[in-house]
A and B are shown apart, each in its own frame.
Chain A
Amino acid sequence: MESYIVRIYRQEDARSEKMVGVAIEPGEDKEHVFNNVFELYKLLTAKKNIAEKPFICNDNGTAKSSM
């Protein structure tokens, strides 16, 4: 599946690149931990056919930061 669910569990502030969370591959029960925005980017772009510029959402679904 080409979709990911990204959950951020810790971030120093809204603009910080330091963030800890998991990227989940639905249906495959695979969870990848990331420790900063660059690791997240790497995870999300590992499969070539997904969006190249992912954005991170707040709880309400609005974009928090883009890459």
Chain B
Amino acid sequence: MSIQSNAINSSIDERYLLQLFNKYTNNKHVESSFEQNDTWPIKIYTLGRFRLINNGEPLTFPGRAKRRPLEMLKALIAFGGRDVSQERLSEALWPDSEGDAAHRSFDTTLHRLRKLIGNDKAIVLQEGRLSLNSDVCWVDAWAFERLQGKVESILDNTTFFNAKDDKTDEKTHLSNNPYSINLEEVGLLCDQTLSLYQDHFLSHSTEESWCLTYRERLRSKFIRLLRKAGRHWENNSQWYKAVDCYQRGLELDNLIEGFYQGLMNCYRQLDLNAEAIVNYNRCKENLYKYLNIKPSKTTEEIYDSLLN
């Protein structure tokens, strides 16, 4: 079973997640993100290895013949997937073709793409604009974006309480707050959202310029969520959970100083000063090696606190 399928078909009850999101967000789009297994005949995975699933069956694309139609599908997703003009797609896919030639290539490739997907309703062409039918197609990147926005808003706007906390009065008080949520629940929401981001958008299949903007946007959202989730866990003294977020962030980009600072803070709280110092040294080394700068004042202050 693939990593993605593992995340999706994990032991966590998706209906429960759905209830949680509805409880805190009351948003129907979020609902659609989790109902992956049954609702959509076509599932498209773009975060990491590109995969296309039709009614549970992975489609394979041997040879070069399918390359163009698949590129068209990828570009369509990269451009937002809705109402993408024929001209924009043609320019991305056939930059050297003009007029009728580009138009013919577009028509032929679209016909082959529809045939390849095996579902006539998956792609809609209307008034020269192409859209992926969101009633038929589920796209992991779109699900990630929707959930990321919702989780961020929950992290930004909620008051948290620990379900294991025995302070009944406090719990009752917070439960009356429509935005209160317990730590286990928010952990579940964060984990599920982060698990959708297996790797960068189309990272193994294309380096074309048309995919870069969307790739960077998703990457940026993922990093922001890791930061916020890490901070959330720190605020609730869940140090190891925060460490997981920061380490994942550094695996993605080892020049983001905030992640080192977070790690140093967490290890200090866990009385693991040696680990904290190791991370300070890593930070110092990488910043100097790649950016030719020293750690910031904040990083140095955390480091000093470790020595005292």
Contact = CB atoms under 8 A, between A and B. Distances in A.
Contacts of B293: 10, 20
Given A20-B293, A33-B292, A61-B217, A9 B257 contact: yes
Contact of B296 (A7, A10, A27): A10
B52 interface: no
Interface residues of A, number: 17
B290 A22 contact: yes
Contacts of B256: 9
A2 interface: yes
- Size band of the interface chain B makes with A: 10 to 19
B257 A3 contact: no
B219 to A, nearest CB: 9
A26 B292 contact: no
Given A9-B255, A61-B217, A26 B212 contact: yes
Contacts of A27: 207
A5 B212 CA distance: 8
Interface string B167-198: 00000000000000000000000000000000
B209 A1 contact: yes
Contact of B224 (A10, A22, A59): A59
Contact of A3 (B209, B220, B221, B292): B209
Interface of B: 207, 209, 212, 216-217, 220-221, 223-224, 253, 255-257, 290-293, 296
Given A9-B256, A59-B221, A61-B220, 15 more contacts: A1-B209, A3-B209, A5-B212, A9-B257, A22-B255, A22-B290, A22-B291, A26-B207, A26-B209, A33-B290, A33-B291, A59-B220, A59-B224, A60-B220, A61-B217
8 contacts: A3-B209, A5-B212, A9-B257, A10-B296, A26-B209, A27-B207, A31-B290, A60-B220
